[in-house]
Amino acid sequence: MKIIRPCDTDPSRRRFVQGAVLGGAAAGLGLLRSPHAWAVDRAAVAGGTAHPHVLSGTDFALEIGETPVNFTGATRLATTVNGQVPGPILRWKEGSTVTLRVTNRLRVPTSIHWHGILLPFQMDGVPGISFPGIAPGETFVYRFPVKQSGTYWYHSHSGFQEQAGMYGAIVVEPAAAERNPGDRDYVVMLSDWSDSSPGHIFATLKRQSDYYNFAEPTAPEFFRDVRTLGLQQALAKRRMWNQMRMSPSDLADVSAYTYTYLMNGTAPAGNWSGLFRPGEKVRLRFINGSAMTIFDVRIPGLKMTVIAADGQDVAPVAVDEFRISVAETYDVIVEPQEDRAYTVFAQSIDRTGYACGTLAPREGMQAEVPAMDPRQPLSMVDMMGAMAMGGSAAHGGMQGMAGMSDMAMPGATAAVPVVRHARTEYHNPGVDMHVDMPRTNIDDPGIGLRNNGRRVLTYADLHTIGGPIDAREPGREIELHLTGNMQRYMWSFDGVKFSDATPVHFRAGERLRIVLVNDTMMNHPIHLHGMWSELENPDGQFQVRKHTINVQPAQRITYAVSADALGRWAYHCHMLYHMEAGMFREVVVS
C-alpha cells in the first residue's frame, strides 16, 4: 500500500499538532486508552463483552471533573466526564427507563443536556431554564423513559464547559431489530479543542471578531479580480464589502490557528482506527460535538450510504461527502471490499484544518490523506439570497453585483417569499444586515461544496421513513430572524439578545410552523430542545425530522413543530459563542 503522508495536520499550521493522547488523560497519569477503545464491535456488544469506554444498561454514575490532557504537546486541564475526552459512550435501550447520577467534582456549577432526547423538561439539563444546575460537590439524579432509538449525544450546558471537553455519545438500541444492521458499529465523534481557555477565545472575538481569520482579501487577489472582472467591477466588489464592514472570507469565527480537530478524542497524528474485514458492512455514527466547527466528511475510495439523520432513520441515499453542522448526527453504512486502509477525512468549513482517522483490516495501517479543498469565498447568494439572482439590492442601497457569474446554485430561482422584519431589527447596533429576498432552496450543499465533482448530501436528499409524526397542517406561524453584527460580535433573534428577550410561547398540543430567516452571512445550526423540528421543502411538504437544523446564509427555512412537551425549553444557535453572545431564546409550552 502506498502511503504518501500520515494522518497529521496541515504543515502550514503555526505549530505541529502531536496529539496522540486518547481518552483525555495525560500519559504521566497512566490513563491513556487503547486507540481502538471507541470501536464498538457489534458481535462483542451482543455477547456482553465489557468495554472500557462504553457504559450500558439503565443505571449510570457519571462524575464531572478536571483532567490533564495533552493534544498539542502542552498539558492543559479539560472538563471531563469520568476522566475522559470525549466522555464514555452511553448505550441505552428504547423502552427502558434510565437513571443517571451526575456528581459535580468541579469548583463551579455544571450540567448535562441530553441532546435530541425527548424527556420531561425538568430532566433536560439547562441551568436557569429547566433546573438550577448541579452545584459543586452535589449529585443530581436524571431519570426518564427512553422513547426513541438512534445516535445522539450529551454535553454540558454550563458556561464554556462543552468547549473544554465535556461531551460524549449516546447510542440507543431500538426495541425491535435494527432497520439497517451492520457487522461493525463505530461512533465517530468530531470536535474542536484549543489550548486557550474558551473564555479567552470569546473575549478575543468580542475585541476583534476576525482575529482567527487569516484569509482576509489580499492585494494579489484584488489584481486577480482586475484581470477577470475589470477594474471597475473589482473596485465595486471591494467597495461593497467595505461599506458593509463584512468579509467574503467569514466562513468560521474560530480557525485551526487555535483549534486542533479531534476524531474520538484523537488528534490527526494519533490516527484513530476502526477495524473491518473486507466485505463487511460498517456502520459509522458521526456526531459533530464541536463548539464552533462545521465539518465536511468523506472517505476517499468508499461510497457512504446515509441511513439516519439526527437519530431518525431516513431512506438510504448514497453519497461521496456530507456536511455535518455543529450538533448534527449522521449514520452511514460503508462496505469496504478491498484489503486496504481508508482515510476518514473531516475538513473544517474554512479549510484551515481537519480531523482524520482510518478504517483498516489490521492495526497500524494508514492510507493517503487527501489535500484539503481550496477555500471558497462567500458569494452574493450567501449575502443576499434570491436577490443576488436579479433585481436591485436592498441592504443599505448597495450597488453592484460583481462576480455573480460563478454563483449559480441548485434551486436559486425558486419563488421568493415575503419576509417580515421585526421592528427590533432596525436602528440596532446589533444588526448589520437584512435579507429581504432570502433563498428557500434546501438542495444547496453550501459554500465550499458546490459543483466540486463529488456527490454531496443536501437536506433535499433526506426523507424520514414513516413521514411526519403529526399529519395536521400547522395552524399558526412564528417567524424569527437570525441576526447579528459580526464586527461587534453580537448575535440574536430579531435583533434582541437573550438577556433582553421575552419567552416564545407555544400552546400545548398545537401544530405550528417555525419560519427562520438568516439575515447573516454565517451558518447557524438551530436547536429546539424537547420537540422535533420537522423540516419542510420549499412547497411546505414534510422533508426530514431533525433536532438541529443548519440555516445557511441568506436562507429561509420552515419546519413544523408539535407542541407536545409541556414546560420551559431552550432554543438557540448551537455555535457555542453565538449562543453565549445572545442567539438564544426560551420557549414555554403551556
In a domain, 344, yes or no: no
Condensed to tens digits (0 to 9), the pLDDT of residues 509-559 reads: 999 999 999 999 999 999 999 999 999 999 999 999 999 999 999 999 999
- The yes-or-no verdict on residue 117 having pLDDT over 60 is yes
Write down the mean pLDDT value for the chain: 86
Which residues neighbour 255 within 8 Å (Cβ) at sequence distance 6 or greater? 212, 213, 214, 348, 350, 352, 353
Q: The C-alpha cell of 366 is what?
A: 494508514
Counted domains in the chain:
2
Asked whether residue 141 is domain-assigned, the answer is yes
Burial of 420 (0-12, 13-18, 19+ CB in 10 A): exposed
Range of the domain at 579: 377-590
Q: Which of 164, 180, 196 is the last residue of a domain?
A: 180
Per-residue model confidence as pLDDT tens digits over 285-328: 999 999 999 999 999 999 999 999 999 999 999 999 999 999 99
pLDDT of 438 above 90 = yes
Is the pLDDT reported for residue 21 higher than 50? no
Looking at residue 244, its pLDDT comes to 55
Instruction: Write b or e for each residue in 188-203: b if 16 or more Cβ atoms lie within 10 A of its Cβ, otherwise e.
Output: bbbbbbbbeebeebbe
> What one-letter code names the amino acid at 12?
S
Of all residues in the chain, the percent with pLDDT exceeding 90 is 76
- Any domain includes 175: yes
CATH number of the domain enclosing 173: 2.60.40.420
Single residue among 180, 195, 219 that ends a domain in this structure: 180
Say whether pLDDT at 26 is over 90: no
Say if 226 falls within a structural domain: no
- Would you say residue 5 lies in a domain? no
Helix axes 231-244, 219-229, angle to 10 degrees: 130
- Tell me which H or E stretch contains 366: none
Helices (H), 48-154: none
pLDDT at 433 over 50: yes
**Whole-number pLDDT of residue 392:** 34
Last residue of a domain, one of 180, 208, 228: 180
* Residue 450, domain member (yes or no): yes
- What percentage of residues in the chain have a pLDDT greater than 70? 81
- Model pLDDT, residue 387: 65
| Most confident listed range (1-5, 149-153, 387-391) | 149-153
Which comes out higher in pLDDT, residue 155 or 42?
155
Q: What is the pLDDT of residue 405?
A: 33
How much is the pLDDT for 245? 54
pLDDT for res 40? 39
For residue 243, name the pLDDT band (cuts at 50, 70, 90).
low
pLDDT mean over 238-262: 79
- In angstroms, rounded to a whole number, what is the distance separating the alpha carbons of residues 167 and 113? 9
pTM: 0.88
Is the pLDDT at 46 greater than 90, yes or no?
Answer: no
Residue 234 covered by a domain: no
Q: What is the pLDDT of residues 461-502, one digit of tens each?
A: 999 999 999 999 999 999 999 999 999 999 999 999 999 999
- Residue 492: CB atoms within 10 Å: 30
Give the lowest-confidence range in 67-76, 385-394, 566-575: 385-394
Question: Is 138 domain-assigned?
Answer: yes
Cβ-count burial 111-126 (b if 16+ within 10 Å, e if not): bbbbbbbbbebebbbb
Tens of pLDDT along 188-233?
999 999 999 999 999 999 999 999 987 755 556 655 666 777 877 7
Eight-state DSSP code of residue 456: B
Lowest-confidence pick of 93-107, 215-229, 425-439? 215-229
pLDDT-wise least confident of 130-134, 144-148, 256-260, 407-411: 407-411
In terms of Cα–Cα distance, which of 435, 42, 364, 374 is closest to 215? Answer: 374
State the Cα–Cα distance between residues 81 and 110, nearest whole angstrom: 11
pLDDT at 393: 34
